[in-house]
Chain A
């Protein structure tokens, strides 16, 4: 079974609009971490935002926020006021047993290709 599901293969969004990228996950661990990465066409994965399973507040980093709904096992990325430079692939990832020393393995979703239209 897929551990990380990203159901939107591609999205087109008008510049300056907000966009929500969906991510659902599956784990039986109580402690886990959820990450979002951006991958431009150059290939490098850029860390955007992190949410821990025990974090009570939704994470925010500048224009990025994470809409964490633990009961629904979803961790959607919200980008406010989108810019042309936001065009890229976006990956949701999970590290199970997230705070356990010795586990750095990330499981990735299939990604969403976001295109910002001027």
Chain B
């Protein structure tokens, strides 16, 4: 079974631009979560999507948004990029069924550099 894939792997953008990151979950997984990892703040939860609906949201500004498509693929968008948005963005997928503690499987991440 193919793992979680993320594209692109590396991205360099300029302040003020916007960026879209993509995540394809493991086949059959309906939940997709996004995390931001920085040296200063560590790993922080951005949001989670399930069946095209955002179920959970972390404490990030509205510049960070996402969506999920009917095939469970997810995209994350960051508008008006700031230097502090430079980070590794990790996507994770899960079966997410009630009463069962399924683990989340992570993709390789997209490393975003904002200059």
Contact = CB atoms under 8 A, between A and B. Distances in A.
Interface of A: 33, 35, 37, 42-47, 50, 52, 91, 93, 95, 98-111
Interface of A is mostly: loop
B48 to A, nearest CB: 5
Q: Chain B interface residue count: which class?
A: 20 to 34
Interface of B is mostly: strand
Interface in B81-115: 88, 90, 92, 94, 96-101, 103-109, 111
Contacts, number: 71
Contacts of A45: 90, 92, 106
Contacts of B105: 47
A111 to B, nearest CB: 7
16 contacts: A33-B101, A43-B90, A43-B109, A44-B108, A45-B92, A45-B106, A50-B101, A91-B43, A93-B43, A99-B99, A101-B99, A102-B55, A104-B48, A104-B50, A108-B35, A109-B42
